[in-house]
């Protein structure tokens, strides 16, 4: 399998702000890769480096087999980009802007464009200054999704879309994925990530803290358990590897690091287990932990 994007030990500082601090990232050709992290983690900075807009201070960056800074123009023929903050020329209509970008890339496909405009219910005649935030975002999405680029980079593309449009966006991404295109999606919307993405990289403070498939992330981490027993449960919360311990009327809830499961089961076995529900953590739980303050070694 070939790689579309690979970063190794990338460092970028702005004055005294360390935006990226030894970042590693690998996106394989043809996959939908989610790029997650709390606000200010360095996602947008990474994307700007990939677009050749800014240059890393240290580290190696490769995009579609080239150097994004040196080979910017050639590489840009093969990619499309949706910015997070969409700013458009106020006097131009949405339709004009969509066509303009298509011509810059040299791949205006009117059929595809018209189809997308219809699906996203965008009025292309309106001047950009009169679009709402969601509609500005739609202009940027139609621009990128109507292209035939082999790599699509999206920086929080759906933060202003309504749920209906969100669904249409997901359909579009699935279609593109099925055509074998590579997609890098930075997002805060976990449901979207869960539905669309093959693999995930989570960064914090400019470093990757997790990377892998969703099921990898789930299984290599913790399990949530809800247990009730005949005898009162004591001492469990003091065991190594048990977290978020909570007591209800007749249940206890906790999360347990997978290596500690055996120990927990031994502890519970003598107490007469009446019921035990165990499930992998939800993405939500996963991210809250990764985003939280205690760094976790992948």
Partner 1 sequence: MTPFAGFGHQLRFVLRLDRVRGSVWFAAMIGVVLASALSVLSLYGTVAERQIYAQVATADAALKAIAGPGYGLAAAEPTEGAVVMNEVEMYTYVAFALMSVFMLVRHTRAEEDGDRAELVRAAPIGRLAPLAAAGTWVALLNVVIGIGLAIAMTVVGLPVAGSIAFAAAGVGLGLVFVGITAVTAQVASSARSARSTASATLGAFFILRAVGDIGSGRLSWLSPLGWAQSVRPYADERWWVLGLLLATAVALFGAAVTLSARRDLGAGILPQRPGRTEASPRLDGPLALALRLQRGSVIGWGVGMLISGYFLGLIADQADQLAENDAVAQILDQAGQGSITESYLATMMLMMAIIATGYTVSSMLRPRGEERDGRASPVLATPVGRRRWLFDHAAVAAGGTFLIMALCGLGAGIGYATSTGDAGQVLPLLASALTMVSPMLVLGAFAAALIGVRPGWSAIAWAGVAVVAVIGYLGETLNLPQWARDVSPFTHVPLVPAVPFDLLPVALLAAVTVALAGVAAVGISHRDIG
Ligand X SMILES: Nc1ncnc2c1ncn2[C@@H]1O[C@H](COP(=O)(O)OP(=O)(O)OP(=O)(O)O)[C@@H](O)[C@H]1O
73, 63, 17, 23: which is closest to 43 by C-alpha?
23
Q: How many H helices and E strands in the chain?
A: 10, 13
Closest distance of CB 251 from ligand X, Å: 36
- Cα(251)–Cα(38) distance, integer angstroms: 33
Residue 41 partner contact from partner 1, ligand X, Mg ion, none using kind-dependent CB cut-offs of 5 to 8 Å? ligand X
Burial (CB < 10 A; 0-12, 13-18, 19+), residue 249, is: exposed
Q: Which of 2, 16, 39, 87 binds partner 1 (CB under 8 A)?
A: 87
- Cα(239)–Cα(230) distance, integer angstroms: 20
72 lines the binding site for partner 1 (CB under 8 A): yes
Question: Residue 57: CA atoms inside 13 Å, Cβ hemisphere, count?
Answer: 13
Residue 80 three-state SS: strand
Helix H or strand E segment including 247: strand 242-247
Interface segment toward partner 1; rule CB under 8 A; list 26-34, 71-79, 169-177, 197-205: 71-79
Residues 8 and 60 sit within 8 Å (Cβ to Cβ): yes
Residue 122 three-state SS: coil
Site string for ligand X, 67-106 (x = CB under 6 A): -----------------x----------------------
Residue 40 partner contact from ligand X, Mg ion, partner 1, none using kind-dependent CB cut-offs of 5 to 8 Å? ligand X
Q: Which of 6, 29, 44, 205 binds Mg ion (CB under 5 A)?
A: 44
55 lines the binding site for ligand X (CB under 6 A): no
Site string for partner 1, 133-162 (x = CB under 8 A): -------x----------------------
44 lines the binding site for ligand X (CB under 6 A): yes
42 lines the binding site for ligand X (CB under 6 A): yes
Interface segment toward ligand X; rule CB under 6 A; list 38-46, 134-142, 143-151, 240-248: 38-46
16 lines the binding site for ligand X (CB under 6 A): no
**Cβ-based neighbours of 229, under 8 Å, separated by 6 or more:** 268, 271, 272, 273, 274
**Cβ-based neighbours of 127, under 8 Å, separated by 6 or more:** 90, 91, 92, 93
The two structure tokens encoding residue 70? 């040196």
Q: Which of 24, 26, 62, 96 binds partner 1 (CB under 8 A)?
A: 96
Q: Report the interface residues with ligand X, using CB under 6 A.
A: 14, 17, 19, 37, 39-45, 84
Q: Report the interface residues with partner 1, using CB under 8 A.
A: 48, 51-55, 72-74, 76-77, 79, 81, 83, 85, 87-101, 103-106, 124-127, 129-130, 140
């Amino acid at each position: 399998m070939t790689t579309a994007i690979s970063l190794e030990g990338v460092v970028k500082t702005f004055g005294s702000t360390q935006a990226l601090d030894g970042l590693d990232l690998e996106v394989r050709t043809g996959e939908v890769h989610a790029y997650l992290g709390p606000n200010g983690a360095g996602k947008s900075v990474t994307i700007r480096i990939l677009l050749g807009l800014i240059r890393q201070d240290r580290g190696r960056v490769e995009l579609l087999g080239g150097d994004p800074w040196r080979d910017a123009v050639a590489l840009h023929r093969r990619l499309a980009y949706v910015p997070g903050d969409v700013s458009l020329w106020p006097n131009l209509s949405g339709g004009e802007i969509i066509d303009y970008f298509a011509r810059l890339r040299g791949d205006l496909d009117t059929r595809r464009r018209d189809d997308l405009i219809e699906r996203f219910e965008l009025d292309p005649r309106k001047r950009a200054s009169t679009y709402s935030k969601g509609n500005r975002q739609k202009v940027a999405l139609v621009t990128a999704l109507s292209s035939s680029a082999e790599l699509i980079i999206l920086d929080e593309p759906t933060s202003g879309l309504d749920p209906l449009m969100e669904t249409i966006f997901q359909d579009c991404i699935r279609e593109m994925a099925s055509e074998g295109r590579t997609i890098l999606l930075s997002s805060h919307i976990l449901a979207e990530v869960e539905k669309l993405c093959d693999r995930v990289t989570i960064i914090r403070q400019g470093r990757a803290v997790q990377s892998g498939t969703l099921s990898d992330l789930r299984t290599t981490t913790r399990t949530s358990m809800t247990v009730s027993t005949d005898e009162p449960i004591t001492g469990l919360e003091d065991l190594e590897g048990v977290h978020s311990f909570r007591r209800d009327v007749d249940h206890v809830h906790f999360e347990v690091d997978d290596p500690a499961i055996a120990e927990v089961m031994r502890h519970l076995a003598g107490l007469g287990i009446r019921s035990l529900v165990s499930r992998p953590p939800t993405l939500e739980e996963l991210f809250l932990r990764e985003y939280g303050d205690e760094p976790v070694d992948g």
